[in-house]
Structure 1
Amino acid sequence: MDTQDTWVAARELFRDLSDHPGPDAFPAVVEPWLRRAEREYVGVLAEDVARLPRSPGEELDERAADLLWELYALSRVSDVLLLAFQPRLDQGSDPLDGWPAVTRAQYRELFTRLGMAPFEQAAAFDPFLHEIVEVEQAADPDEPISVTEVVWPGLWHGHVLFGRAGVRVRAGVRHAERGVADRAPLYWTYVRRHRPTVDLSQGWGHNSQWRTDFRVDVRTPEGAHLNVCEKGGMDTVSDVDELLTSAERRELLIHRSLVRAPDDIAGLSALGEGWQESHFPFGWQLS
């Protein structure tokens, strides 16, 4: 993403959406932006994404920094447009209601025209592809996770997973615990209506927050590679993460959230109320 016009494109769309609370966001805001983007932006984006690593250890292209920031900005656009499909926690007013809504068809059109491929397959639950939105707790604690409904589509951009599909699931408590798997903080995420989120833009200034890297997950014939641009292992941990078991750290990286109450819930709770949002898995990589 070399030119100034290209670099600011997704951030510009995010800003324009934030300034447009009306119901006609797609024709009034998204469509004009898409027409400009289709001139050069879409092609440049595809070329740059194709250069991203396909396995751990591959060197990043010299232009990757700008691309990862641009993909992060696009992910913010996706996050605010997905709010319309997410459950409300209560019937009161919600400050997130200020974001404009689009239909699922319009959401798919936006990202399809940006060169992405939507998917909604849900024959089997796959945490690489699926984000848990709500859990129906099965009576059998050992019942595996199964998808009961696809809430929004996932998105591929070439070999890179841009966004997971949102799904409702049924599961035994030993696999996905209601109130944790669907309500614990979701990492590498800007915003969700129904749960807290944590990403590395939080706490930074108006401009600095946009220099946040997009998490790159890829799937190749050799398997899935999570957070492939990072080099850290799950044994490099903060004081909070040290209280998680290795299996819990793995689940945090794969699901981007905890899915069950941790074994050492007493020790974590002793750290204070904010422990759930104090994990730091951002440098972990898994293949």
Structure 2
Amino acid sequence: MGLDWAYFRRPYEELHDRHDAAERQEYLVGRQPTAAAHLAELAPLRKREPIPASGYTGDDERLWQIMKLYALSRVSDYLIELFCPAGDPPPGFGVTGGRAVMEGSTTHRLELGGWQINATPGWIGSRRLELDELAAYTGFFTDIGLTPFEHAETFSPFHHEIFAVMQDPSATRVILEEVLWPGFWFGDLLFSRAGVRVRAPRHLIDAAVATTSTLYFTFSREPRPTSDLSHNWGSNSQWRTSFHRFYSDEDGLHLNWDGQVDIGEDPPQQPADQSDDPNPLDQRRELLLHRCFVRSALPRDEDDRFPYDDRLSLTTAEWPLRPESIVRVPWTR
């Protein structure tokens, strides 16, 4: 078939017209053969390749393939949102957060990124899991040709999206308690991360920050705030957004492979036509690795960062990040 780059936009929009789990499940099953065929034509994206020295142009089919995969990621974001709605998790499950707010004024001092305010932090609700919706998500993406994974040995921010945190001051590291939903591979390309519940001391993973700070590289995760390059564009222009490619292969883990700035360097070398990023390097690495901030020193402008130009290659994705895990790999052709 010819490249119908806008195909996956249609199921995304049509899913919004199905208002219960059974109806959505029936719709996804009916779409499976065609969706599988459209995904198969994106096979060149399964392997990491050097970027053209001048970047992809509008005439390059690879760019259109990347945009087509972005539309499929919107289907994924919508289905994840359905099985992680606002609601109370089971007792003892941990903090699942939502959208951070400040409720009222008290005499307590709250430290946020080096500044202090008199306030009580709160959340607009929490989040729970809906297993029927989860089954529809897992079944559809498996059936169209993606490979599910859990990566259940240890916590890895490359592979795992934090859904819930159990704060444990006695812990000395981040402990993976449970994989809640699978992630998916498209060859070596990470299509989506697995959702996890972790146990950690506050200095490594702050429960409030890790579950309520802005989740980047994500279109929507209500009630959690998100940031995506399609935001604030028109109803048609937003679909010309590129999928953010995170790869795992024999040379390591490659975060945001299309980013122009290698933040493995210290200091990073900005392109000649860009001004230097004034944000601390450790914050830029934390944000790219987790796709959100996770530590208690939350920057005041945490919802106004731009990690989309940054890239980083690692041998392993541990937290805290080990400097010796950073590797340099050839990037351009």
**TM-score where L is the length of structure 2:** 0.71
Q: Where does residue 24 of structure 1 map in the other structure? A: 22
Question: How many matched pairs?
Answer: 265
Contact 2:146/2:186 (8 A) holds in 1: yes
For residues 64 and 8 of structure 1, what CA distance do their matches in structure 2 show?
14
Residue 89 of structure 1, CA deviation: 5.5
1:253 maps to amino acid:
L
State the match for 1:112 in structure 2: 142
Q: Structure 2: where are the runs of 5+ without partners?
A: 90-123, 125-129, 314-333
Work out which of the residue numbers 82, 85, 104 in structure 1 matches 2:83.
Answer: 85
Residue 48 (structure 2) pairs with residue 53 (structure 1): yes
1:228 aligns with 2:257: yes
Larger strand proportion, structure 1 or 2?
A: 2
3-state SS of 1:285 partner: strand
- 1:151: how far off? 1.5
Work out the CA distance in 1 between the residues paired with 2:231 and 2:220. 11
Instruction: State the alpha-carbon separation in 2 of the partners of residues 85 and 25 from structure 1.
Output: 15
Listed one character per residue, the Cα deviations across residues 124-166 of structure 1 (whole Å, up to 9, x for unaligned) are 00111001111111113x6211111112110000010000001
Q: 1:254 aligns with which of 283, 286, 289?
A: 289
With 177-186 and 229-238 compared, the bigger mean Cα shift is at: 229-238
Shift of 1:230: 2.0
TM-score of the pair, normalised by structure 1: 0.82
Distance 1:203 1:279 in 2: 15
Query: Distance between the aligned counterparts of 1:43 and 1:56, measured in 2?
Result: 22
- Where is the helix percentage greater, Structure 1 or Structure 2? 1
Give the Cα separation in 2 of the matches to 1:69 and 1:126: 27
Gaps of 5+ in 1: 95-99, 270-274
Distance 1:32 1:169 in 2: 36
State the partner residue of 1:203. 232
Aligned partners of 2:84, 2:30: CA distance in 1, in Å?
Answer: 26
- Sequence identity of aligned pairs in percent? 35
Within 5 Å, give how 1:1-287 maps onto structure 2. Answer: 2-3=2-3, 6-38=4-36, 40-45=37-42, 47-50=43-46, 52-54=47-49, 62-86=60-84, 88=86, 102-140=132-170, 143-234=172-263, 235=268, 236=270, 242=278, 244-262=279-297, 268-269=299-300, 275-287=301-313
Q: Which amino acid aligns with 1:44?
A: E
C-alpha displacement at 1:31, in angstroms? 1.8
Preserved contact between residue 82 and residue 152 of structure 1 (Cα < 8 Å): no
CA distance in 1, matches of 2:77, 2:276: 27
What is the Cα deviation at residue 22 of structure 1?
2.4
Q: CA deviation at 1:198?
A: 0.3
Q: Cα–Cα, structure 1 residues 27 and 167, in superposed 2: closer, same or farther, change >3 Å? A: closer
The alpha-carbon distance between structure 1 residues 56 and 175, as it changes in their structure 2 partners (threshold 3 A), is farther
Q: Which has the larger radius of gyration?
A: 2
Question: Is the 1:231–1:283 Cα contact (8 Å) retained in structure 2?
Answer: yes
